[in-house]
Amino acid sequence: MRKLLTLIGVFCLLLPLMADWDWELTERWVIEAGDVDWFQADNTVRAGAANPKTGNVLVPSRTAGTAVHILNGRDGSYIGTLPEPEGGFTGGTFAVNQIVALPSGRIVVNNLQTGDGTVKIYLYDSETDTDPEIYETSVPYRTGDSLAAREDLYGNLEILTGRFSDALRVRRGATGGWGESTITLEGVNNNYAAGYYPDGSLIISTLAGDPYITRNNRDGSLIGPAPMSQRQVFIGSVYSDIDGFNYIGVTPRTADPDFPDSHPDDPNVSIYNAQTGVRVATKDITEYMEGDRNLNGAGSAIVYTYAYTPGGFTKLYIASICHNNYIGVWEIQAPVDVDSWELY
């Protein structure tokens, strides 16, 4: 009984500590448009991913050649590119567009097609995989603006890609074999970013309508508004840390004052508690959002943990990409003792 009371006491002390975060994120590094030849003030870099297996940041680009660039997540230094599939990246309106990196280290890349065209999904086992699997199909609606992916403990994979209310759901079994279906995302009319909650439900960010962020079942039916209320933003999948809390990253579309209806209420990179909607950490990035108009409105925000500091404290990172503007990583050191939380 004494041990049980002790554990409950630790939990009660730590829970308020987590709930009361209101800290500013610390910048690790930022690359602005024009700093490198493959990232310019154009519409060719629309998304990115953070690889939980390596800590690297992966960014597809169609400037200075079509490639997926690999950056060191700690300092932004250039590592190289994902190996191209045999014959290169081909098909669709844009040969590469979105990307997701999964906890296992597998990487999903898709193309963009604007309607009744070829859909391509590339599945890499790792950043060095020279022979990725390619799934190719055709659907009569636009896909590729958004991309979400999740895998279960057995290696089964589910992928969702779309733009408007219709979305393509693709599944791959743990031992191979692909299948597809079309689902309708209820309450969504302009889907620019999508992710998964740990329970498999979907979170969708839309550029029009109210609410701006919805939570949907895997079959597309609407659960209701997501707790986060920022508008015109980009998100990633909900990240579940070892402390049992769920987080999601949010990055703004643009802060161009000439387009007052095209940017969020505040130009911040933020981390939210994905269950309560409370913003636990934030960083004003106005300096990176001004000047170049993000007319297409595209970006990514990925929350992840890669390494632990020696004192038993975990660092939570957010990799944020807003095309025409910046690619960067920010961090927050969470005040949570890992050893204590491992008791649960």
Q: What is the CATH number of the domain that holds 134?
A: 2.120.10.30
Give domain status of residue 260, yes or no: yes
Give domain status of residue 12, yes or no: no
Beta carbons of 299 and 47 less than 8 angstroms apart: yes
The low-confidence residues of the chain, meaning pLDDT below 50, are 1-21, 242, 255-264, 308-309, 312-313, 336-344
Give domain status of residue 107, yes or no: yes
Of 80, 24, 22, 28, nearest to 326 by C-alpha is: 28
Q: Which residue has the tokens 């840390």?
A: 241
Which amino acid type is present at position 250? V
Give domain status of residue 313, yes or no: yes
Give domain status of residue 213, yes or no: yes
Considering the entire predicted model, what is its pTM? 0.87
Q: What is the pLDDT of residue 62?
A: 94
Structure tokens at 67: 């490639």
Distance CA 260, CA 231 (A): 12
**111 has which bridge partners?**
none
User: Could you tell me the residue range of the domain that residue 201 belongs to?
Assistant: 22-341
Distance CA 66, CA 45 (A): 10
Give domain status of residue 160, yes or no: yes
Of 291, 303, 332, nearest to 48 by C-alpha is: 303
Give domain status of residue 197, yes or no: yes
From residue 173, alpha-carbon distances to 6, 51, 237, 305 in Å are 44, 22, 21, 27
Domain count, the chain: 1
Q: What is the pLDDT of residue 286?
A: 77
Give domain status of residue 180, yes or no: yes
Q: Which residue has the tokens 């005040």?
A: 335
Residues near 291 by beta carbon (within 8 Å), at least 6 away in sequence: 41, 325
